[in-house]
Amino acid sequence: MTDNEKYSNHCIQMFEVYSQYLDGELDENQRTEVEHHIETCSECRACFMTLKKTKELCSKMPRVKAPDDFTSRLHSRIRNILDCK
């Protein structure tokens, strides 16, 4: 049995729009339907909550700085291109 056979069609239908819910992309009726589902389906609530935290964690991933020697080379390369124009 594949994983998705363990789910009701409604659970899968709701699961597919969780990201749109989190991104504020659903209309009011759809939002209410998702909210009602995660309130009443305990398994889906845990899934929804972990997805929400995953999205938040991805958005908090820090940026790294490019190596200084690389940025110096980049700036001088661009300067040369502009000077040649």
Partner 1 sequence: MENQQKKPIIKDEDSDLILEIKNGRTDLYETLLSKYETRIYNFGLRMCKDVSDAEDLVQETFINIFRYLKDFRMESKFKNWAYKIAASVCMKIKKRNNVTETELSLDDILPADREKEVSSKIPSWVNQPAEALMNKEMYLEIKREIDNLPPSYRIILVLRDMEDFSTREVSEILDLSESNVKVRLHRARSFVREGLKRYFND
Is 31 a binding residue for partner 1 by CB under 8 A? The answer is no
Which of the 8 DSSP states describes residue 53? H
**What region, left, alpha or beta, does residue 24 occupy, with left being phi > 0 and alpha being psi -120 to 50 degrees?**
left
- Using CB under 8 A as the binding rule, whether residue 70 contacts partner 1 is answered as yes
Q: From the list 13, 52, 68, 72, which residue makes contact with partner 1 (rule: CB under 8 A)?
A: 52
- How many other CB atoms sit within 10 Å of the CB of residue 62? 4
d(CA 58, CA 42): 25
Max Cα distance, the chain (Å): 67
Q: Which is nearer to partner 1, 4 or 32 (CB)?
A: 4
Q: Is 10 in the site for partner 1 (CB under 8 A)?
A: no
Which parts of this chain interact with partner 1 (CB under 8 A)?
2-4, 6-7, 12, 15-20, 23, 25, 42-43, 45-47, 49-67, 70-71, 74-75, 77-79, 81-82, 85
